[in-house]
């Protein structure tokens, strides 16, 4: 049982389809085997599937790089356009092919700021019959055909980055038995030509032939595109040119750059980029449709799994949050029950403290009442000169507020001239006490009375005589808050 | 392809609705119920007052049967207690005033409750009958009687007598002050209110 090398990182195996046959490589370009093509294809097609099964694991994904000589490529400057329109342009280009055969068509749009419209439209087409046998073999081998790239596109996308590439440049790509000369203007392929190398040629002889082919193609290019002069030649897979050949190429106006990597390395890089959705794809329609269906089915399955996962995750989060809230509700209610139980204890505590609190309140009220009563009584019992009190009566009023009512009666004497001056002074002194409110004076009686006065003459007491005085009887009442 | 696309769209559209209907909405309803429980319980907790529990020392002080402070508000269960208490108050007032050289002319009293009511702070939790906390009815409610003490001597003796009230064991609050000096009559007296505890109405 063959041991198949594993595809790393799910990158596809690479199948380089050329006129001689198909080279099967690992995703990194390492050669696994070669399937020869023959003019009598029908006799060998059955064996292609077996060869592929032998070289590749079942179900492996593969990417085909089509380098057949009948592959047609057209590039034209264009504005940006939707995929349907780009497809229509490619179909028109394929329909213009003089062979009149049914074509597989692919297209891509490259941004090119210097192009008219800002883009270059790539159309690639290939007679359906050229790929039918290989397509059937891939299907029979149970391989997943993920992409079919056009060889010039893979070369263009895999070129090493250059800081200031020339607008018009020549790429000389050398394989062991074949060479290609491609003329690019920006990302647009202007012209390509391939040539075969004899098996017995040495490397130096191969380079000689390549330079010769480059020279001829350049002359053709200059005739076809008058005024266009490529200024740069990038050689891939040629090895180091001798000085004489470099001089010859310079004489053609080409500055020579020799790529360090092999042609396969460039193609592997380019194929990886071409697998992107915007790449040019030459797979037959039914293969693309089947692939899209598989992809969509996988998307549906993934979406179902993702939605189920989101359901479970979201449900879990919601459930967790709900449990937290429920636990908090239980905790708070337990706290409430505990506090209520404590509150029953509060009544017991209040009941236990109540007698002492009641006594302290009574003592406080006793102190306040004593202080209030003493202050009021002292004030009432301190009349000014000329006022004689008969009666002072103070009573505490019912109610929670400490309010004292009082009633004072007495006599106010005046001088010889009629006046209530001492009584007014007494009333004024009472009003100085804060919180004291006097009722209106109601019981005031004024009368003249002869009062036994002092002796007019100290020498003769018999000469003493009564002195007239005004007497005011009064009754005051009020309250102290 | 079309069926797969339709299925995908249906899944994407239906999933949120199903999630809302099966999981989210019922959970929200249950959570709203629980949050209402939390709010109600917290509100009721806020309504409960906080208080300091009784310490052992305080309990012993409050519950001592012969604590001196309890004698200041004695429980009067009948005429016998009343007479004994009256005798004690009169004796202690007389002795206290005589110690200060105050001349007590006479005393008289009435057990009728006066309207000058003694009140306590409402914040003490008086929510039972007679303004007493629940569970305290058997301990008795406040009642008051008034003792009139007639004094001879100068007017200043009245203030001396007032100054002695706080030092006497019976709780005597001055509620009246009478001074009279007419050519026909001279009299001065203090009205002192004494607080006692009496059994509740039903248990008398």
Residues in chain B with CB shorter than 8 Å from the CB of A339 are 45, 48
Q: Is A204 on the interface with B (CB under 8 A)?
A: no
Mean pLDDT score of chain B, rounded to an integer?
A: 80
Residue partners of A456: CB distance under 8 A and separation at least 6: A463, A464, A465
Separation between Cα atoms, residue B191 and residue B194, nearest integer Å: 10
Burial tier of A140 (Cβ tally within 10 Å: 0-12, 13-18, 19+):
middle
Mark yes or no for CB contact A366/B171 under 8 Å.
Answer: yes
State if pTM tops 0.80.
no
Q: What are phi and psi of A123, to 5 degrees?
A: -120, 130
**pLDDT tens readout for residues A115-128:** 999 999 999 999 99
Which of B177, B181, B193 to mutate to test binding with chain A, by most A CBs within 10 Å of its CB?
Answer: B177
Does the beta carbon of B49 lie under 8 angstroms from any beta carbon of chain A? yes
Q: How far is CA A253 from CA A212, A231, A244, in A?
A: 15, 6, 14
Tens digit of pLDDT for each residue in A128-173? 988 888 888 888 898 989 999 999 999 999 988 876 777 889 999 9
pLDDT reported for residue A341? 84
At residue A192, the pLDDT reads 92
Shortest CB distance from B15 goes to which of A307, A326, A378? A307
Q: Within 10 Å of residue B1's Cβ, how many Cβ atoms?
A: 10
Distance CA B114, CA B118 (A): 10
Q: Which of A203, A221, A188, A207 is nearest to A256 (CA)?
A: A207
DSSP state of B121: -
A371 in reach of chain B (CB within 8 A): no
Model pLDDT, residue B115: 39
Cβ within 8 Å, pair B1-A296: yes
Decide if A171 contacts A181 (C-beta within 8 A): yes
Which of the four pLDDT bands, split at 50, 70 and 90, describes residue A332? Answer: very high
Specify which residues A470 forms β-bridges with.
Answer: A448
CA distances from B159 to A375, B12, B189 (A): 10, 97, 11
CB contact under 8 A, A336 and B41: yes
DSSP SS3 for A354:
helix
Nearest-CB residue to A318 (from B27, B124, B172)? B27
pLDDT classification of A9: cutoffs 50, 70, 90: low
Distance of CA B163 to the CA centre of its chain: 27
The whole-number average pLDDT for the span B36-49 is 92
- For B5-22, letters b (16+ CB in 10 Å) and e give eeebeebeeebeeebeee
Q: What is the pLDDT of residues A415-471, one digit of tens each?
A: 555 555 788 888 888 888 888 888 887 777 776 655 554 433 334 445 444 454 667
- Interface touch A381/B179, C-beta < 8 Å: yes
For residues B72 and B196, is the Cβ–Cβ distance under 8 A? no
Average the pLDDT over A41-55 and give the result.
79
Q: Closest approach of chain A CAs to the CA of B172, in angstroms?
A: 7
Chain A residue numbers with beta carbons less than 8 Å from the beta carbon of B54 are 349, 352-353
Are B171 and A363 an interchain contact pair (Cβ–Cβ within 8 Å)? Answer: yes
Euclidean distance between CA atoms A33 and A30, whole angstroms: 9
Q: What is the pLDDT of residue B113?
A: 37
Task: Please tell me if residue A307 touches chain B, with a CB cutoff of 8 Å.
Answer: yes
A315 touches chain B (CB under 8 A): yes
pLDDT given for residue A202 in this prediction: 84
Each residue's pLDDT tens digit, A70-122? 999 999 999 999 989 999 999 999 998 888 888 999 999 999 999 999 999 99
SS3 (DSSP) at B173: strand
pLDDT at residue A1, as a whole number: 45
Q: Which of A339, A350, A396 sits opposite B124 (nearest CB)?
A: A350
Task: Enumerate the residues of chain A whose CB falls inside 8 A of the CB of residue B178.
Answer: 392-394
Q: Which residues on B lie below 8 Å from A378 (Cβ)?
A: 159
ipTM: 0.71
Interface test with B, best of A328, A350, A475 (most B CBs within 10 A): A350
């Amino acid at each position: 049982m063959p041991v198949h090398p594993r595809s790393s990182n799910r990158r596809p195996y690479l199948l380089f389809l050329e006129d001689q046959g198909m080279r099967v490589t690992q995703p990194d370009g390492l050669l696994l085997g070669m399937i020869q093509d023959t003019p009598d294809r029908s006799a060998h097609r059955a064996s292609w599937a077996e060869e592929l099964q032998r070289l590749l694991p079942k179900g492996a994904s593969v990417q085909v790089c089509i380098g057949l000589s009948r592959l047609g490529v057209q590039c034209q400057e264009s504005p940006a356009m939707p995929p349907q329109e780009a497809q229509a342009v490619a179909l028109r280009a394929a329909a213009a092919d003089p062979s009149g055969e049914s074509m597989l068509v692919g297209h891509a749009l490259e941004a090119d700021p210097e192009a008219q419209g800002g883009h270059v439209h790539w159309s690639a087409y290939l007679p359906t019959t050229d790929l039918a046998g290989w397509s059937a073999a891939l299907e029979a081998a149970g391989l997943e055909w993920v992409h079919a790239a056009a060889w010039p596109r893979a070369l263009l996308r895999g070129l090493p980055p250059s800081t200031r590439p020339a607008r018009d440049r020549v790429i000389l790509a050398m394989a062991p038995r074949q060479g290609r000369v491609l003329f690019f203007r920006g990302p647009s392929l202007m012209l390509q030509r391939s040539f075969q190398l004899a098996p017995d040629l040495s490397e130096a002889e191969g380079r000689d032939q390549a330079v010769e082919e480059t020279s001829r193609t350049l002359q053709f290019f200059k005739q076809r595109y008058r005024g266009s002069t490529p200024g740069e030649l990038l050689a891939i897979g040629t090895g180091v040119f001798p000085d004489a050949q470099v001089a010859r190429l310079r004489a053609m106006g080409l500055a020579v750059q020799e790529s360090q990597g092999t042609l396969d390395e460039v193609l592997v890089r380019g194929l990886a980029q071409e697998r992107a959705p915007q790449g040019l794809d030459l797979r037959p329609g039914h293969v693309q449709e089947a692939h899209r269906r598989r992809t969509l089915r996988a998307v549906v399955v993934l979406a179902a799994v993702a939605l189920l996962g989101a359901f479970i995750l979201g449900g879990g989060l919601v459930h967790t949050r709900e449990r937290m809230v429920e636990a908090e509700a239980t905790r708070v209610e337990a706290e409430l029950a505990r506090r209520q139980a404590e509150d029953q204890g509060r009544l017991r505590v209040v009941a236990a403290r109540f007698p002492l609190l009641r006594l302290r309140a009574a003592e406080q009220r006793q102190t306040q009442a004593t202080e209030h009563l003493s202050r009021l009584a002292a004030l009432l019992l301190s009349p000014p000169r000329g006022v004689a009190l008969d009666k002072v009566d103070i009573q505490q009023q019912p109610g929670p507020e400490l309010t004292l009512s009082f009633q004072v009666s007495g006599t106010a004497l005046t001088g010889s001239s009629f006046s209530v001056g001492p009584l007014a002074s007494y009333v004024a002194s009472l009003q100085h006490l804060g919180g004291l409110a006097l009722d209106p004076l109601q019981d005031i009686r004024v009368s003249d009375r002869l009062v036994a006065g002092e002796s007019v003459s100290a020498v003769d007491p018999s000469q003493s005589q009564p002195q007239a005085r005004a007497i005011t009887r009064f009754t005051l009442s009020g309250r102290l808050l | 392809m079309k069926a797969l696309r339709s299925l995908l769209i249906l899944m994407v559209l239906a999933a949120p609705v199903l999630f809302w209907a099966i999981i989210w909405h019922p959970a929200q309803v249950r959570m709203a119920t629980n949050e209402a429980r939390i709010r109600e319980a917290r509100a009721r907790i806020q309504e409960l007052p906080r208080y300091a529990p009784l310490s052992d020392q305080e309990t012993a002080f409050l519950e001592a049967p012969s604590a001196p402070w309890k004698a200041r508000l004695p429980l009067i269960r009948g005429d016998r207690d009343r007479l004994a208490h009256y005798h004690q108050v009169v004796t202690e007032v007389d002795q206290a005033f005589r110690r200060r050289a105050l001349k007590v002319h006479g005393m008289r009293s009435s057990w009728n409750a006066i309207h000058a009511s003694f009140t306590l702070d409402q914040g003490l939790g008086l929510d039972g009958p007679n303004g007493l906390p629940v569970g305290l009815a058997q301990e008795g409610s406040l009642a008051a009687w008034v003792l009139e003490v007639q004094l001879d001597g100068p007017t200043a003796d009245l203030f001396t007598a007032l100054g002695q009230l706080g030092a006497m064991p019976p709780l005597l609050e001055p509620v009246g002050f009478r001074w009279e000096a007419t050519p026909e009559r001279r009299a001065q007296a203090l009205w002192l209110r004494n607080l006692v505890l009496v059994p509740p109405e039903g248990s008398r």
